Structure 1
Amino acid sequence: MARPKEFDRDEAVRRAMGVFWEKGYEATSTDDLLRAMGIGRQSMYDTFGDKHRLYLEALQRYQAESAASLMERLRAEDSPLAAVERVLMAIASESAAERARGCMGVNAIAELAQKDAEVASVSKSAAMTCEAAFERVVQQAKRRGEVPPSVDARQAGRFLLNALQGLRVTAKAGAPPAALREVATFTVASLRAR
């Protein structure tokens, strides 16, 4: 009879996610993961298969949680453009350590997407979800007169996702909060109806 698992699988994935997010895929060793998850080597292999499978599960969880958080923040304001601005400004408000850590999704794209089809697929799916969320908020902003009718909501959604990802990279590279706020302000102003 198989022995029941002696650890919380969801918590183990969450802890692994933290290690991958902090160190990246290549720099994370199996021992790093085992220490963080508090499980033995055989338990890791029996439950997750290998480091790569565990990484994909952690990345998928990160992307799902990030997308849910983005959608929640985009609905949190009466003004669609104010919601977009708050999302972008939040990066400048993070601590220096949070900015240096970056976004696990963006980190995965930079580190692995060109050489790992599964990571590329997870990243593409997450990008499509976030683009669609931004597209919807731009459509709402157009209906409210905050964005000119001539703005293509789909293109604007892609633009906003790229602005968000660019801010993440710029923050990780050490840009000061004031510079990040300038970029966020300019991004929103470029969409605003005049």
Structure 2
Amino acid sequence: MARPSEFDRDEAIASAIRVFARHGYEAASTSALIEGMGIGRQSLYGAFGDKRRLFLEALRRYADGSLDGMAAALARPGRASEAIEAALLAGLGSADELESGCLGVGSIVEFSRSDPDVNAVNDAAAAQVLAAFAARVKDGVASGEFAADLDAQAAARMLLTLRSGLKVAARGGAGEDELREAARLAMRGLGRV
């Protein structure tokens, strides 16, 4: 009979996310994962199977958390531009905290389109983000805040691209004011399209 896990799985996954965000998939050694997660080698393999399955679970968990933060920002009452700006700036991470980097963007850079399982997680997350941005852009068009002929799907793709860029910029050392300025510039552009 197998022994029950002697660690909190949620905490272990959160720790794995930090290790993978800092090092990437390939450079995150099993030793670094074990140390970062505070579990033994046998527990790692017993609970998660292998490094790849751990990474996929961590990536899914990261994507879910990121989507939750963006959804909360987009659900804010009031002007669509303010909600979209808040979503663009939610959970960007920083250069000071390397473990706060975007696991999704990092996995896209590291794997490109070479891993179907990584692609599936990232594609599903992107589809949700695009739908959420498009819905809020449509709200802005309907209220007259954005240009009447604005293509909501095209705007959503631009916003997703901007969000990815903001995450990279934050990791590269851009400050909060600089990031907010970029988001606000995008909002002004939507009103003039």
State if a TM-score over 0.5 links the two structures. Answer: yes
Q: Measure how far apart 1:2 and its partner are.
A: 2.1
Task: Give the 3 Å change call, closer, same or farther, for CA 89–68 of structure 1 in structure 2.
Answer: closer
What is aligned with 2:27?
27
Q: Measure how far apart 1:116 and its partner are.
A: 1.8
Matched, 1:59 2:59: yes
Seq. identity, % = 44
Amino acid at match of 1:24: G
What is aligned with 1:50?
50
What is aligned with 2:130?
131
What is aligned with 1:116?
115
TM-score, scaled relative to structure 1: 0.89
Give 3-state SS (helix, strand or coil) of 1:149's partner: coil
Amino acid at match of 1:129: Q
Stretches of structure 2 lacking an aligned partner (at least 5 in a row): none
Aligned partners of 1:60 and 1:122 also within 8 Å: yes
Deviates more, 1:176-185 or 1:7-16: 176-185
Using the alignment, how far apart are the partners of 2:3 and 2:163 within structure 1? 45
Stretches of structure 1 lacking an aligned partner (at least 5 in a row): none
Matched, 1:40 2:67: no
Using the alignment, how far apart are the partners of 1:154 and 1:111 within structure 2? 27
Aligned partners of 2:146 and 2:191 also within 8 Å: yes
Task: Give the 3 Å change call, closer, same or farther, for CA 100–54 of structure 1 in structure 2.
Answer: closer
Aligned partners of 2:101 and 2:167 also within 8 Å: yes
Give 3-state SS (helix, strand or coil) of 1:192's partner: helix
Using the alignment, how far apart are the partners of 2:11 and 2:90 within structure 1? 26
TM-score, scaled relative to structure 2: 0.90
Within 5 Å, which residues of 2 pair with 1:94-105? Answer: 96-98=95-97, 101-105=100-104
What is aligned with 1:11?
11
Using the alignment, how far apart are the partners of 2:165 and 2:94 within structure 1? 18
Give 3-state SS (helix, strand or coil) of 1:185's partner: helix
Amino acid at match of 1:168: K
Aligned length: 193
* Cα RMSD (Å): 2.2
Amino acid at match of 1:130: V
